Chain A
């Protein structure tokens, strides 16, 4: 059977589909992609359902090969350094991985997550209706854990892709992480008006200790108006809780389903990926929007993914780095190495 073989994988690389929905009431977190828009874009480019299983690539880096036959691949990132047999290709690329060739993904100057979608179906057994990996509870993906060297992902109904690498043109992924839109609440009444202003204005610095569970912010601590303990209630992805130390924590894909700190605001769905892509040290602030504005942004996202993702051929002889940098195709090839 055709398979994608993991030759090397850094920490935090997992299989994710659109998430495990329907079991939050039993304490089961949805998991799913940290950057839902980029995940869906990779699947769209691969011709898969938008919520199909894909590899979420962390800044730890990934090296893969194909076994048993050629595999069409869409690898989408912003500024990750991607290469095929050592030759640089664009940071969002569609290509065919022939057996014997090696695709390598490395972190770049910006961005925290990339997504590798295979043309065909990554054939792992769903658990509770989903293949999304939640490593803390050992659910989904490959035995509930992150991918590691030696893993073999069987690919059902494999399809070859572009004969030569094509750059994927997805301008909706060019998102500035400095301004994140939120809807205030559900517990904004636990904060005085000046503290809401202080929260929105920041600036906040993204702490490097974030993971799939939460994004931690450093800055001037917020003060609570009526204590920092609430009787636990539900927690949405993007909820911004403020614990006793006054420093906001944004709860992400692997969050717990309920929590007991006041939540001052919630990041809107369309900006979850924007936030997730912010590397440690990024400075950001928030802007309050209405539910209607957030829904409009969501609608625009959906519309962007209605059509096939546009693509331009990349001519192999043009791979000189100055040419690619001129086109801004591979930012980070010659600078910004971590």
Chain B
């Protein structure tokens, strides 16, 4: 087996993990997403779900329809050919209000980093993030690309549930946390853009591999944009990203 060949790991008889590596690395993520695209473009019958993560693609399948070896063969063939992603990722600009009451943990981040509130906002909003994966909760997007000066460890024990669509940092990563949950992350703002809206026709619109920037807005603007989202509009602005 060549070093570049992924490991195929069974998780029971109905899920196959295609593991490209064991670390958080954009190059590994690219390979995961290239295979995800290739399988999505022409899915074998019996393939039920594809779950891209930082370093692996989990394939849930119906083993009474799709044989494990047939799926493994298909994956190996596609990995050999699928070296780049099919499409170009989209760069999304998400409005973000860092002011109170939204940025409720900013003072704690100041304590842990020594950065002023203004510096925290400028640093966070100055970066471009990559959506590595969703996990943990509906629409919870894990974002890589957080500047090192904001790399605070996660809390030892979770804080009470955050409001919906919270913009959070912790453990060296950033995230958008759509559904209120107790969290070990720090809440530094909120976006009116709803990454997850089960009642909307397109419940999700940002894919793994897409890029995100945050644009600071004040509370009045946040409220106005939130009202537009509530009326069914989408306030996140897309543009094609150059890679």
Which residues of A are at the interface with B, using a C-beta cutoff of 8 A? Answer: 21-28, 127-128, 136-139, 182-183, 185-187, 230-236, 238-239, 256-259, 263, 266-269, 291, 294-295, 298-299, 302
- Chain B residue, CB-CB nearest to A266: B12
- A233-B19, A291-B10 known; A25+B51 contact, CB < 8 A: yes
- Complex interface residues of chain B between 3 and 42 (CB less than 8 A to chain A): 9-15, 17, 19, 22-24
Nearest CB of A to B231, in Å: 20
B48 at the interface (CB under 8 A from A): yes
For B62-101 the 0/1 string (1 means CB < 8 A from A) is 0110001000000000000000000000000000000000
- Chain B residue, CB-CB nearest to A128: B198
CA distance in complex: A27, B134 (Å): 5
- A269-B12, A298-B13 known; A233+B55 contact, CB < 8 A: yes
Contacts of A232 in B (CB 8 A): 53-54, 133, 135, 142
B196 at the interface (CB under 8 A from A): yes
- A25-B52, A236-B60 known; A231+B134 contact, CB < 8 A: no
B146 at the interface (CB under 8 A from A): no
- CB pair A257–B51 under 8 Å, yes or no, is yes
Most buried by A among B11, B51, B199: B11
- CB pair A236–B11 under 8 Å, yes or no, is yes
Where chain A touches its partner, the secondary structure class is: mixed
Among A28, A187, A295, contact of B13 (Cβ-Cβ < 8 Å):
A295
Most buried by A among B19, B135, B139, B203: B135
Contacts of A187 in B (CB 8 A): 9
Most buried by B among A187, A256, A258: A258
Contacts of B51 in A (CB 8 A): 24-25, 234, 257-258
- A234-B51, A299-B64 known; A27+B135 contact, CB < 8 A: yes
Contacts of B50 in A (CB 8 A): 25
CA distance in complex: A26, B179 (Å): 12
- CB pair A26–B64 under 8 Å, yes or no, is no
- Complex interface residues of chain B between 128 and 174 (CB less than 8 A to chain A): 133-140, 142
- A24-B49, A257-B51 known; A183+B12 contact, CB < 8 A: yes
- CB pair B15–A266 under 8 Å, yes or no, is yes
CA distance in complex: A26, B12 (Å): 22
- CB pair B60–A183 under 8 Å, yes or no, is no
- CB pair B13–A291 under 8 Å, yes or no, is yes
Between A and B, 15 residue pairs with Cβ closer than 8 Å are: A23-B204, A27-B137, A27-B139, A127-B198, A128-B198, A137-B138, A183-B10, A186-B10, A187-B9, A233-B58, A236-B14, A266-B10, A269-B13, A295-B63, A299-B64
CA distance in complex: A136, B181 (Å): 9
CA distance in complex: A27, B208 (Å): 11
B191 at the interface (CB under 8 A from A): no
Known: A128-B198, A185-B11, A295-B63. 9 other contacts (CB 8 A): A24-B58, A25-B52, A26-B196, A138-B179, A186-B19, A234-B57, A258-B135, A258-B136, A298-B64
CA distance in complex: A25, B142 (Å): 12
- CB pair A236–B49 under 8 Å, yes or no, is no
- A27-B136, A256-B136, A291-B10 known; A231+B198 contact, CB < 8 A: no
Contacts of A185 in B (CB 8 A): 9-11
Among A27, A233, A291, A302, contact of B64 (Cβ-Cβ < 8 Å):
A302
Contacts of B137 in A (CB 8 A): 27, 136-137, 256
- CB pair B58–A234 under 8 Å, yes or no, is yes
CA distance in complex: A13, B60 (Å): 27
CA distance in complex: A299, B64 (Å): 7
Contacts of B196 in A (CB 8 A): 26-27
Contacts of A299 in B (CB 8 A): 64
Nearest CB of A to B154, in Å: 11
Among B14, B23, B49, B64, contact of A25 (Cβ-Cβ < 8 Å):
B49
- A26-B134, A234-B53, A257-B135 known; A268+B15 contact, CB < 8 A: no
Nearest CB of A to B170, in Å: 13
- Chain B residue, CB-CB nearest to A234: B58
CA distance in complex: A23, B56 (Å): 17
Contacts of B13 in A (CB 8 A): 183, 268-269, 291, 294-295, 298
Contacts of A139 in B (CB 8 A): 138, 198
- CB pair A22–B17 under 8 Å, yes or no, is no
Contacts of A235 in B (CB 8 A): 11
Nearest CB of A to B69, in Å: 9
- CB pair B63–A137 under 8 Å, yes or no, is no
- A127-B198, A128-B198 known; A24+B22 contact, CB < 8 A: no
9 cross-chain pairs, A with B, having the tightest CB-CB distances, nearest first: A234-B58, A258-B135, A294-B13, A186-B9, A266-B12, A27-B134, A236-B15, A234-B51, A236-B11
